[in-house]
Structure 1
């Protein structure tokens, strides 16, 4: 039987194991139908993956769209829209055989032509993580027939097989998007995918509703009839809605950390930190390094000394998290904690400001608030206070999720925060934030800081192409030391996401992407 560990230390059976232990007739009789009530926070600007990669968009749209593969909790690839795949001995050719009988939500047939279009035209243009990888490594993607797709690489890219999930290699319908302006296509307001759930409605400021796809290519799935993502702006109100039974699921960012310990101890509530293995998220403070004061390395180092990471985790986030040491999470392969240390030291910070020669009074800065709730507002207030203690003049600017994405994507900010997902390998989730080639406008998840170091560019390129794990470790160790010394970002803490859910909900966390899975096997036990 498969088990997983919760934060309270109890071992809990997965729904699949429970069904076996109880007997299929008793458990499976209750798998069909029902509505799952959950939260999307904040309200996403749109629901088309690729065009937007913010967390709320991923959460909702991962039920609508699909990728060629999915990934289990150990991040091993599993069939998705592809039923099988082969890799050549030289690591340059990947051949995928697609599932039979797949249709888009509008009834059109899904084929290899959709995959070729999505990868070679759509994602190459719009996706902030995948675009630089495709443009650097992909020589061609072709369709020998309707059921086969062949990827040929210019040179090896070690984690290429990790790219094919919904959040990276999203497959979109060619018949909807080909020959159009992707960002302004009217169909963006009514997304069409191949997934187990279809878009039904979006009442702005109220709720997004998805309904069961009656023609889903997996027989008998999904179990649920409907998923409702309620939009509740106030964190306290979200907690009350869960407590009163109006909401079945809360993700880690849906309520303030102070409420998590109270809610997880309620009767009939389960919790887990599983399901974030693919992401290994780190929160950083990013700065616009194109001009003073943040173009000066000593100023950036001073800020790193001025921030107490333990205080952030323990006081602002109520112990949910872990201080970060650098750009790679400690849960990710190739992490190395032997990097320059920035212990909390205001005197050292002031000394570095003095040595920098930068007149901070001539360069007032604004912190663009991170629009994910009151906890993040408190983080901005804390950072503002600390910056003022070392000589900065600081204001805080409020914004919503769409405004934040637009401002950061257009480099229209002084400093802000972001939590970045690492996707199982630094070549996918980390290098994109620092390589010079990814300083591109239009996405908030590229190298928005404008950091540029040719040595780092070369290291990341070598590490991505190397087939030797030892060589990759050596290269990533070197990159971490440089990026920490340069204070390319201010690395704050590793996020820990706690998912809370009613014990009537089963199969919620079944993969390495957690609640960003497609929920095809989620069901509600009406007897609870």
Structure 2
């Protein structure tokens, strides 16, 4: 059958866009060499199936693989699955796997690994897949060693977009079946099917990956090894790139003003491509279980008290666009027909007065997301704005692991996070709002505790709609409801810039950019 592909537009306003079609485009790839990158902040684990923070996807995307990848216009393409078929009724998805794939420990990869990953490991450990599996999937089977069949309870038009690497990293059954997933010693020495194998993790210094000599793509990868350097100081990361210690900077590795400066260096390229699948949207996450955030008027007041234009222009150096609600403006089914919250401090104070709470009696713990000084400045700015409303605010700084744990256990008052849209609202957006996804143990679910039965119904209607116009209607009404409720405090659509040495070729070639397996990346001599 013909399956319609959902498209989302790429981020607008590319900063210094320079594609890899330059001087070396006609050269044949060269084998060998070392690629130096940065893992910022240092990841708490490399086990991608248990934690999908940005640095873990970055490193883990070289170790683990999924069934599919996606072109920049979000068309599915082969990864561990070489082909797939969808039944006419949209209820059966059959994947044929690649031949001669081995795990990094030499054990053969098979359909049983995929079934275990989907039906056991990720169903328990992964918030997005858990929701998809429990809501839509009725059966997962391996009728042959190279074939996996998913049977759905009801149509789910976003299903083919559920196999991005951080959404569905395939894990080895022989390592994890029957073991405690979260305490398994293999989490410290990850084993995947990807182009690079784990070699060493010197805490506070680097993660070292080496070429997988038994990789299933003949002659690849081209590179011998990858280093992900741990450099806590933002200024030092800029210096490391300038001096050639590292070859690649991804979005967030350096400050916005540093991006502008480094982009002007000789033999340097920049691009904003490679984020089409994610379209990240930054928000404040308020714990709706406790005062004062259990009061909708307080949440509305906070939205009016925060100047999103100021945040984009002065804290993130113009690399973004103010957000209006749960969907990024580049995402399909986005609607501007929803309540808006213009910056108006006086209106914010009036809403606080109407709420009946006494701000001076409230002490709010504000927990920054530990991704660099720009995020620290964002926290400081929001602290000042909350204090203008009369609240007492303390900043509670934590490392990446502490942030994930506090959010997972709902031990926070207000923090920051960002949504990866994953090409469809049913995949990247719904998880933050569905009542069924109020679950402990992950920082990427409905951690704030928002629950609205009508919003739940509309998310489901949008996901199962056969006609695009029906989906648009459902998602449009949903946006009005959750925006009016201020389920989250939406701030801005984040634009990330990749900066790299021009000698690094084929670096960004899909919709997941630097998280894609770098089996075709090579270094020109």
Q: How does 1:219-238 map to 2 (within 5 A)?
A: 219-238=218-237
User: 1:385-419: CA deviations, max 9, x gaps?
Assistant: 00000111101011000000000000000000001
Residue in 2 aligned with 1:287? 286
* Counterpart Cα distance in 2 of 1:271 and 1:422: 23
* Counterpart Cα distance in 2 of 1:312 and 1:207: 32
1:467: how far off? 1.6
Gaps (5+ residues) in structure 2? 1-10
Compare 151-160 and 362-371 and name the one that shifted more.
362-371
1:11: how far off? 6.0
Q: Provide the secondary structure at the position in 2 that maps to 1:493.
A: strand
| 2:231–2:237 CA contact under 8 A, matched in 1 | yes
* Counterpart Cα distance in 1 of 2:461 and 2:512: 28
Residue in 1 aligned with 2:491? 492
Residue in 2 aligned with 1:420? 419
* Counterpart Cα distance in 1 of 2:510 and 2:40: 22
* Counterpart Cα distance in 1 of 2:253 and 2:401: 18
TM-score by length of 1: 0.96
Are 2:470 and 1:471 aligned? yes
Q: Provide the secondary structure at the position in 2 that maps to 1:38.
A: strand
| 1:47–1:61 CA contact under 8 A, matched in 2 | yes
Q: Provide the secondary structure at the position in 2 that maps to 1:150.
A: strand
User: 1:200-220: CA deviations, max 9, x gaps?
Assistant: 000000000110000000001
Are 2:376 and 1:364 aligned? no
* Counterpart Cα distance in 2 of 1:375 and 1:45: 21
* Counterpart Cα distance in 2 of 1:331 and 1:198: 35
Compare 352-361 and 494-503 and name the one that shifted more.
352-361
RMSD over aligned Cα, in angstroms?
1.4
| 1:94–1:152 CA contact under 8 A, matched in 2 | yes
1:5: how far off? 10
Q: Provide the secondary structure at the position in 1 that maps to 2:127.
A: coil
Are 2:210 and 1:211 aligned? yes
> When the two structures are aligned, how many residues end up with a matched partner?
515
Residue in 1 aligned with 2:329? 330
1:362: how far off? 2.4
* Counterpart Cα distance in 2 of 1:512 and 1:102: 24
| 1:6–1:272 CA contact under 8 A, matched in 2 | no
User: 1:400-445: CA deviations, max 9, x gaps?
Assistant: 0000000000000000000110100000000000010000000000
1:492: how far off? 0.1
Residue in 2 aligned with 1:100? 99
* Counterpart Cα distance in 2 of 1:441 and 1:5: 36
Are 2:522 and 1:523 aligned? yes
Residue in 2 aligned with 1:70? 69
Residue in 2 aligned with 1:258? 257
Q: Provide the secondary structure at the position in 2 that maps to 1:134.
A: helix
1:165: how far off? 2.0
Residue in 1 aligned with 2:4? none
1:12: how far off? 3.9
| 2:257–2:317 CA contact under 8 A, matched in 1 | yes
1:13: how far off? 4.6
Runs of 4+ in 1 over 6 A off after TM superposition: none
* Counterpart Cα distance in 2 of 1:8 and 1:492: 20
Residue in 2 aligned with 1:150? 149
Could you tell me which of 8, 17, 21 is aligned with 1:14? 21
Residue in 1 aligned with 2:174? 175
Q: How does 1:263-282 map to 2 (within 5 A)?
A: 263-282=262-281
1:305: how far off? 0.1
Q: Provide the secondary structure at the position in 1 that maps to 2:348.
A: helix
User: 1:469-507: CA deviations, max 9, x gaps?
Assistant: 101111111111111111110100000000000001000
TM-score by length of 2: 0.96
1:8: how far off? 5.3
| 2:308–2:492 CA contact under 8 A, matched in 1 | yes
| 2:361–2:391 CA contact under 8 A, matched in 1 | no
Q: Provide the secondary structure at the position in 2 that maps to 1:62.
A: helix
Q: How does 1:285-434 map to 2 (within 5 A)?
A: 285-434=284-433
Q: Provide the secondary structure at the position in 1 that maps to 2:42.
A: coil
